[in-house]
Amino acid sequence: MEKTPLVCDYGSGFSKVGFSGTQAPQAVFPTILGKMKHTNVLEGLGEQDWFIGAETQTNRTELNMYYPISRGAITNWDNVEKKEPAVWD
């Protein structure tokens, strides 16, 4: 069974993820993270305190926003790693 490489292109504005050999990425999402300013502010979210990509727009007023890549350079590697679950979803 041949394994197809996954290609991740993390940019300052958007991240693009797809499989090698395809014409276009399978997913494109904003390279932005949001962390809850206060715990238990938004009803129904359970223990979720980090939001990734487009999820940040819905709850923007309740979040501290983080941009882990600036001008093409990673400025916060820990926050880049927090984005990884969005790649697999």
Residue 11 in domain: yes
pLDDT tens for each residue of 32-43: 999 888 765 555
DSSP 43: T
Report how far apart, in Å, the C-alpha atoms of 52 and of each of 5, 15, 46, 79 are: 23, 11, 16, 10
Task: Look at the chain and report how many structural domains it folds into.
Answer: 1
Whether 1 maps to a domain, the answer reads: no
How far is the C-alpha of 33 from the C-alpha of 82, rounded, in Å? 8
Q: What is the pTM of this model?
A: 0.71
Domain that holds residue 17: 6-88
CATH number at residue 66: 3.30.420.40
pLDDT digits (tens, 9 = 90+) for 25-83: 999 999 999 988 876 555 555 567 788 888 888 878 889 999 999 998 989 888 877 76
